[in-house]
Amino acid sequence: MNAFDLDDRVTAAAVAAAGTILGALIQLRVAWRKEVSERARGAPVTKKSRRGPVLAVFILLIAAGVGGFALSQYFAREADRESAAMRAELQSQLAQISATAQRLERASMGEHGSTAAAEDELRGVKSLSVTTIIGPCRVHAATGSDVMRTCSEQEALRATLCASVPTTATVTNTVLYARPEGSSQPWAERRASAGQDLGYARFADKSFEKTESDQTKLACTEFFVWDGDQAVSARMDLTYRLAPGGREIAHAAIAPVSGVGP
């Protein structure tokens, strides 16, 4: 707070008050000396001489009022400045808090995906994908000649899609997909159900498991294709959960394609 940084009106009022007070004090001193001198000479005190101090006191009161006004304006202005400074500081702190909250929100959104993945990792949740391509399906004619014909569903080509997982793992979900080879359609739009007839192929009604070794087992499903025009791609997404303390030993496997149907 700078004591000399005052408004022009306040400064003018303070100067006027100071000058008036000084003049009133000088007049009081002159009147007092004059009265003392007259009393020393034995001269009677007139009304005019008595009015001198009264007038000086009146002027002094006016000057004091002007000075009080100037002082009050000074304090009011300083209070306004302090309030404005406090408001500015408060707004700055609020802006900082808002910016920090936005950064924390963005950080929490960015970490949400990694946190979910970390939680899955801690719970022992794993996933595998197996893909294969089969066909097109053609068989020799019944006459034994080299003439080829399109397969029927009973003569479909078959492949077994298997994922090798730890023996202690529990398969929690199996998602199946099938589409013509070379198709640009996303896998998510070609989802199939177990046993569903796709017109040119189908998956087996049920998945199954079989022992692979002392530490691993195979989670499998069969896929059948009787399309004689083009090959077919099949995919199996497997999700499993590891038992507490279990070791992760997993890989994908595809059994050789057989020429007989289901």
C-alpha span between 23 and 14 (Å, rounded):
14
102-124 per-position pLDDT tens digit: 888 777 776 665 665 555 555 56
| Residue 130, H or E segment | strand 125-134
The predicted structure's pLDDT at residue 236: 93
45-98 per-position pLDDT tens digit: 555 555 556 666 666 667 666 666 766 777 777 778 888 888 888 888 888 888
- One-letter amino acid for residue 248 of the chain: E
pTM of model > 0.85: no
> Cα dihedral sign for 4, 5, 10, 15?
positive
| 212 neighbors 218 (Cβ within 8 angstroms) | yes
Report residue 33 as tokens.
Answer: 């000396």
C-alpha span between 19 and 143 (Å, rounded):
136
| 217 neighbors 165 (Cβ within 8 angstroms) | yes
Locate the domains of the chain by residue range. 8-120, 124-254
Which DSSP symbol is given to 244? T
